[in-house]
Structure 1
Amino acid sequence: MMIPPERPDDDPRNAPVYLRKTLLANGHDDRSIRRLVDAGVLIRIRPGAYTDKTNHDQLDAAGRHGLRARAVVQRSCTDVVLSHVSGLPEYDAPVWGLDLADVHVTRPDGRAGRHEAGVHQHCGKLAEDDVVDRHGVRVITPTRLALEVTTVASAEAGLVIVNHFLHCGMTTEEELLERYAVMDRWPNTLRTGLVLHRANGLVESVGESRTLHLILDAGLPTPVAQYPIKDESGRIIHRVDFAWPEFGLFLEFDGKVKYEKLLKPGQRASDVVIAEKKREQRICELTGWRCIRIDWADLAHPTRTAELVRRALRQARAA
């Protein structure tokens, strides 16, 4: 298992959380705290918990959830560990399709948890190697975290997380299956087995994971992810997102992040689009295959998009 390095101390996601009791102990009162909030110096992130507004305003939804989670840990009257969706920000994992309204923590003491005031407390037996320290807080390890997410999210969102951790090397299929084997008493694990069956560490992004989910959920043939394309000399020159070699068809997911990654200094977005079109033409010349492209808008209409892929597969087979 490879754990990524911790982020720099000055990262706004590491912004300090000030509890009301700490501010009072340092000479403030409720009136002065309100003045700081009104002046835009502090912002309340949870009852009795504040942070610097300038740092908070730089964060996306995942970063702000991470700060709320830290406040919950600081205010907790018992020992808790960040778990489920609330552990993801500490690994910079995607949070697509996940409900960030509640902060999720797990009690290591095994006592019954509760769900109140925006906090979902889980109880569960934690092994010694289930918990690590990240950015000053205790958080569940990626292997267990990936499995936990499948119990509180849709299969599609769960696949995004499992594929992410696999692709980044933070867990392996063997580690996931070994941990899953002792999940027999966990609640809401019906989707977990399905997600693990569909998981693929070659899948590189949220859009690609969602595309794979769409394909498999529609009962379409399983494609090969990151299929290598070779030139006349046998050298690998490209990889396509998904391919059905037996049908002579490949699929590319077009997302904004993908094009930003391809953008070189001095290039415009239109330059990348033209280069990508030339790349597609070259692949078609080398393989004789057809290409289909889908984007975020297509993923919003899975039934229609699945039929588009199904029709392309039929046409490719007939050709």
Structure 2
Amino acid sequence: MTAQQLRSGQYRRVLYDVYVSASLDDSVHVRCDAAALILPQTAVFCGVTAARLYGVPVPDGDLRVHAAVPATASTVPRIKQLKVHSYSIPAGQVCNLHGCRVIGPERLFLELAAAVPRIDLIIAGDHMLRRQVSTRERLNAFLRDCHRRRGVRKARLAMPHLEPRSDSPPETRLRMLIVDAGLPRPVANQDVFNDWGVWLARPDLSYPAVKIAIEYEGLHHQQDHGQYSRDIERDGRMIDDGWLVIRVNKDGLFRTPRQVVNRIRKALNAHRPPR
């Protein structure tokens, strides 16, 4: 194939000297397949790249392909879109995922602790537990054996906050907003029944003892007429049963979080059970 053919509209460059058909959409899998062609066979995808291969949500800022190679590797490419880390990963901490060599999920959680903000680490951990990428027991066991490793203290402190019942990153952010404000930790996605055992709803977050439900309303809740109607009916069932429903949207979560916290705090004080 000539250079002129590669520069034509039929192909696009993924990495230096690596091209694909222009009809092939960009993805982390395509970028990793391209990187594997120029990396040593001992290379292991790590960090945020490994997270994306697992489907674990991480910030979008760093789209480079991250890979680790042994310090003894003779040829290591130096490419702008490729970040090569020079360290060895024990064989027991390497998995084969979609044909790619990636670090194991427990090692991944530790690496994310050193690379992303605390709330993003908890979001990633929630997802890993929810999707059974790992378990709380395996994560704790791995971190217990780590000593003087970058990010290990942050990872250990995040563990008690992980919630396997969390459905989405905004739910995790809302839960941690409440917890970090010093309020009691709400229950995540627990079914609500009335006194006759009839199912009413499964609120995102709730305080069942005082009948307070907290719902995060994403854009799809507002733009999908069917979903919006179901949300209204759900809230109505809970209100009829004596529940207070607090709805939070993206603006409340990111622009006016203090108002959200104050609203929840006032509700808890007003619905405090009698002694």
1:1-319 → structure 2 map (5 Å cutoff): 28-35=1-8, 39=9, 41-56=10-25, 59=26, 63=27, 65-77=28-40, 79-95=42-58, 97-107=59-69, 109=70, 117-124=80-87, 126-256=89-219, 259=221, 269-286=224-241, 288-301=242-255, 302-317=257-272
Deviations 1:31-80 (A, max 9, x none): 32112xxx2x2111222222222222xx5xxx2x4422332232124621
CA distance 1:232–1:305, shift in 2 (3 Å): closer
Deviations 1:225-244 (A, max 9, x none): 11221133225442211112
Q: What is the Cα deviation at residue 282 of structure 1?
A: 0.7
CA distance 1:166–1:124, shift in 2 (3 Å): farther
SS in 1 for 2:262: helix
- Specify the code of the residue in structure 2 equivalent to 1:50: Y
SS in 1 for 2:174: helix
Matches of 1:99 and 1:274, distance apart in 2: 36
CA distance 1:297–1:304, shift in 2 (3 Å): same
Contact 2:123-2:173 at 8 Å conserved across structures: yes
Q: What is the Cα deviation at residue 198 of structure 1?
A: 0.6
Q: What is the Cα deviation at residue 189 of structure 1?
A: 3.4
CA RMSD of aligned residues (A): 2.8
CA distance 1:237–1:141, shift in 2 (3 Å): farther
Query: What is the TM-score with the length of structure 1 in the denominator?
Result: 0.75
Query: What is the TM-score with the length of structure 2 in the denominator?
Result: 0.86
Matches of 2:169 and 2:187, distance apart in 1: 17
The number of equivalent residue pairs is 271
SS in 2 for 1:303: helix
Contact 2:111-2:151 at 8 Å conserved across structures: no
SS in 1 for 2:245: strand
